[in-house]
């Protein structure tokens, strides 16, 4: 794999309930981090306007909305995200939803990331959903599906890159949420890792 500088590997999660709190968090890191994640909470509070402000200020935006709906809805919504200038968008790893998102982004620079298995899920959660396979097996199957459909990468826990990288190749993106410094609270992530572990895993 080509060398990637540290600040391009790190994505700051703006998991806060208001634009004011997001601004305070950004002020603390200033230009040390250029990649930021906007999830459901902040997007619901501050909307597309917050995303546009971030992009105008030179931030690279990862919009983590985990689309999953009928194909036409996903296609149109993805087209709107692409028009905003967002860099990454998440879509749940469902074949029809992923294919619709690929169609919706058209020729734009938007990169699509398939959400494999949420990082707060474990094997017991899968069994309760009627899925009789391990988390790692399901993550692998969904990563291969995402690659087949034309996505640019996946969202997977820091435990999975070492398994996925040989199967998906060096150019396929693997974004790992739930990354915390050693000793820090992992919140509700059942499969969390440290930055060093995540990078070393691929």
CA gap 54, 73 in Å, rounded = 25
CA gap 167, 145 in Å, rounded = 12
Identify whether the C-beta of residue 150 lies closer than 8 Å to the C-beta of residue 113.
Answer: no
Beta-bridge partner residues of 13: 37
Instruction: Supply the residues annotated as catalytic.
Output: 66
Instruction: Return the SS3 of 12.
Output: strand
Tokens 């919706």, located at residue? 104
Q: Which two tokens mark 7?
A: 């600040």
Instruction: Using the CB atoms, write b or e for 170-179: b if 16+ within 10 Å.
Output: eebebbbbbb
């Amino acid at each position: 794999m080509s060398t990637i500088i540290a600040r391009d590997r790190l994505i700051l999660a703006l998991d806060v309930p208001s634009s004011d709190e997001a601004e305070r968090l950004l002020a603390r890191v200033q230009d040390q981090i250029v990649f930021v994640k906007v999830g459901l909470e902040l997007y619901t509070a501050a909307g597309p306007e917050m995303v546009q402000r971030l992009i105008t200020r030179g931030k690279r935006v990862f919009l983590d909305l985990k689309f999953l709906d009928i194909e036409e809805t996903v296609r149109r919504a993805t087209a709107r995200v692409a028009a905003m200038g967002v860099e990454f968008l998440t879509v749940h790893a469902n074949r029809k939803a992923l294919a619709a998102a690929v169609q919706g982004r058209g020729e734009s620079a938007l990169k699509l990331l398939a959400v494999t298995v949420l990082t707060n899920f474990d094997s017991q959660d899968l069994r309760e959903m009627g899925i009789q396979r391990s988390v790692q097996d399901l993550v692998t199957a969904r990563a291969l599906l995402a690659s087949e459909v034309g996505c640019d990468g996946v969202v997977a826990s820091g435990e999975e890159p070492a398994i996925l990288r040989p199967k998906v190749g060096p150019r396929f993106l693997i974004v790992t949420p739930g990354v915390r410094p050693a000793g820090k609270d992992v919140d509700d992530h059942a499969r969390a890792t440290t930055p060093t572990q995540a990078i070393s895993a691929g």
